[in-house]
Structures are given as C-alpha cells and as structure tokens.
Amino acid sequence: MKKPYLQKIQTGCFPQLKLYKFSQLKSRIKKNEGYRNLIYYDQLEKPTIGFGHLIKKREKFLHKKKYSKKYLNILFEHDFNLALSDFNKSYKAKGLSKNSQEVLLEMIFQLGIKNCLKFKKFNKALKKKLPHMAALEMLNSRWHIQTPKRVEKLINLLLEYKDVKQR
C-alpha cells in the first residue's frame, strides 16, 4: 500500500498533482491571501475573514469577534474545494501544464470563476499553450494594479520551464 502523501489525487481534472503538491498549492494560496481572525476589508472594500474568505450577504459573521484558526481553516478548505470544482467545470486540464493549472486555480480562488473567465485573451493564450502571451494579459489587467506582487509571483510560476516535458 502506498503512503497517503504519495498517492495521486483523484479529484476532477487534477489526477497528476500529488497530494504533497496540492498541499504546497494550498500553502501558497494561504500565504498570498494572508490571515486574519477578525473581519477586515479587502482592496475592493469587501468584508473578508480568515484566508481571503469573501463574506457573502447571507453569512453571519460578527464584527470584533475573533474566530478560531481551526474554523477558518475549515472555511479555507471549503473555499478551495469550490475553486477546484469551478476549475474542473470550466477548464479542460488535460492540455494545460501543471503550472498553468495551479495559476488558474489560484486565480479562481482569489477572483472567482466569473471574473477569471472574463480574462478572454489570457484564457485563449493558455489554451494555445502560449504562456508568455498569457503572462502579458495578466500584466495588462486591473487585477495586476490591485495585487501586483501576487500577480507577478503567478506570472513567474506560469513561465517556469521545469514544468515543460523534455523531448
């Protein structure tokens, strides 16, 4: 029997990502999102908590209440699974590199699937396997103005060549 951290994930279109890689992706998203156990307002003045969880109108969070890290980790896992589900519904991962998949998943986590799909030229460039063109579209976006360091980190990940298969 294989050790759990070496088994492949069988969720949706991510069969090639191993569990420890998934863990690295989650850690990177958490680091990029930051953490607060109180409600705060993001760059767009939207109420947020935990690891970048956008508080929806129907959710009842109390201002000035500190929430446990355990609860906020569960909320993060739920948000991550929603992003993964949206990714699997909207993208055909087979033709995308692992790095492209991870960049898309983090974009969906941060921006939501509707906003991610609005990056038409970016998505077209990824589909055509033109990561440099996709990176230019990322740079030429309002998203880059709002979160430049994060976008630039994702561009660097997208353009890494260790992900490309050797011929």
Instruction: Report the C-alpha gap between 51 and 35 in whole angstroms.
Output: 5
- Residue 77 designated active-site: no
**Residue 42 is among the residues annotated as catalytic for this protein:** yes
Q: 41-48 long-range contacts, Cβ below 8 Å, gap at least 24?
A: 43/146, 43/147, 44/146
Find how far residue 81's CA is from the centre of its chain: 10
3-state secondary structure 121-153: HHHHHHHCCCHHHHHHHHHCCHHHHHCHHHHHH
Pairwise CA distance, residues 151 & 48, whole Å: 20
| Per-residue CA distances from 142 to 17, 73, 122, 124 (Å) | 30, 29, 13, 18
* Alpha carbon separation from 75 to 32, 53, 94 (Å, rounded): 16, 7, 29
Catalytic residues: 33, 42
